Amino acid sequence: MSSKSQFLERVKNRTAVVAVVGLGYVGLPVAVEFAKQGFKVIGIDLDSRKVDAINSGASYIPDVPTAEVEALTRVGKLSASTDYAVLRDADSVSICVPTPLRKTRDPDMSYVIASADEVAKYAHPGFLIVLESTTYPGTTDEILLPRLRARGFNVGADVFLAFSPERIDPGNKQYGVRNTPKVVGGYTSDCTDVVYALYSTAIEQVIKVGGTQAAEMVKLLENTFRAVNIGLVNEMAIMCDKLGVDVWEVIEAAKSKPFGFMPFYPGPGLGGHCIPIDPLYLSWRMKSFNYNARFIELADEINMNMPRHVVGKIAEALNDDGKPIKGSRILVMGVAYKKDIDDVRESPALDVIKLLGDRGAAVDYHDPFVPSISLEHAGGHGDKKSAPFTGDLVRAADCVVIVTNHSAFDYALLSREAKLIVDARNAMARLNVGGARVVKL
């Protein structure tokens, strides 16, 4: 029996052992979903705190209930380790490690390379390797393929290699791993068949594409589409501001058109592990073809400048009250990159706080999901802790800035007690504003 046939048989009867490298926002939900479908799943992460949490039956990801982790670990379907040697007992591995940008705005592939080295070391006949980390087209074939061949494997016959872009949306209550369609592309057609068979057990709809580069490009198109359109609407907000037009009213009216328009909304900038980063992977890749990805570069420039635009609005609003930024007390509401999650990666709030501090403001922040932050991610220094939300905190602020519109915020209290609110999310739109003067983005 061929390696492919043996793998498909183990998948069919649920005797295949599934490994997941990287147990963060992407990897843990994937691991849990495979375990829920009856597979024995081994998670691998170098962070011993995550490993200890899983092995004790606890979740540290809001989208994954602790009750699910506890139930799966109790019956032996889910475990975790810091040692890649557990791959000797696995039939597949899904690599879900970070792919950040360096300060020079080019890809940092160190996590993928380190994982690829370890995975190749423990690869064995019949093994499936799936890269899920978002990256530039060609990564799977350029980084993983040579390492497997160097071990003497015939990829597509002895072992199988594929790319499947992650589509995790933290905080999304409607779409999770199981009901979000999954794209898969293998190095060969047999690789595609194998990865399709495995992922079809855990995900309702799996879509095959012609190869690893096509699968890699799918994710980049998805997030470039969003980054460019957000850049467009952010520039529209700036233009509307100069014209004295309410951009939120314009968008609301425009979206009444039942065809040819999809609403996007302006904000204080882009955040998270995907939209601010992924398009720049493609832009960087295209430079090797002597091609300039102009839409991507322009959208990035506009989106990166939005925190400065927000600080400019704060300065103008304070000036109207006869106050400079320097010496003013400013309360930033929300530092997560989007509502109702605890993730601050690439959050524009960190840039807003740093820029305000650079101009001499005394800045506090409140976020029920984020107890503390490091400003080093925004080029600053030191840490800040979330201030307890009270009426006294709001009244003491010369300006309140809504950067992240968490559902838990008491907007009515803000409306009653704040002197001035700069609302970068249009969160106050549906309230009858009390004593506060509200300035929109």
- In order of their start, the domains of the chain are 3-210 (3.40.50.720), 305-440 (3.40.50.720)
| Residues with catalytic function | 274
Find, among 281, 154, 140, the residue nearest to 211 by Cα.
140
State the pLDDT at residue 377: 66
State the pLDDT at residue 103: 76
What secondary structure letter does DSSP report for 42?
A: E
**Rounded to a whole number, what is the distance in angstroms from the first to the last CA of the chain?**
64
Find, among 215, 161, 217, the residue nearest to 193 by Cα.
161
pTM to 2 decimals?
A: 0.91
The letter for the amino acid at 73 is: T
Question: What are the backbone dihedrals phi and psi of residue 385, each rounded to the nearest 5 degrees, phi first?
Answer: -110, 150
Query: Is 143 in contact with 113 (CB distance < 8 Å)?
Result: yes
State how far the Cα of 258 lies from the Cα of 431, in Å rounded to an integer: 28
**10 Å Cβ neighbour count for 232?**
16
State whether residue 270 is helix, strand or coil: coil
Distance set, CA 178 to CA 76, 90, 183, 197 (Å): 21, 22, 13, 15
Query: Is 156 in contact with 228 (CB distance < 8 Å)?
Result: no
Query: What is the dihedral sign for C-alpha 173, 304, 220, 60?
Result: negative
State the pLDDT at residue 85: 97
State how far the Cα of 15 lies from the Cα of 427, in Å rounded to an integer: 50
State the pLDDT at residue 430: 75
Query: What is the dihedral sign for C-alpha 154, 159, 164, 166?
Result: negative
Question: What are the backbone dihedrals phi and psi of residue 131, each rounded to the nearest 5 degrees, phi first?
Answer: -90, 125
Average pLDDT, 10 consecutive residues per value, the chain (441 residues): 93 97 96 98 97 97 95 98 97 96 85 97 97 95 97 96 94 93 98 98 97 97 96 97 96 96 95 87 93 95 96 96 96 96 93 95 96 79 90 96 96 94 93 79 88
State the pLDDT at residue 434: 67
Find, among 23, 106, 119, the residue nearest to 69 by Cα.
23
The enclosing H or E element of 332 equals: strand 329-333
State the pLDDT at residue 262: 96
Query: Is 227 in contact with 299 (CB distance < 8 Å)?
Result: yes
Buried/exposed 154-184: b ≥16 CB within 10 Å, e otherwise: ebbebbbbbbbbbbbbbeeeeebbeebebbb
Find, among 350, 361, 349, the residue nearest to 317 by Cα.
361
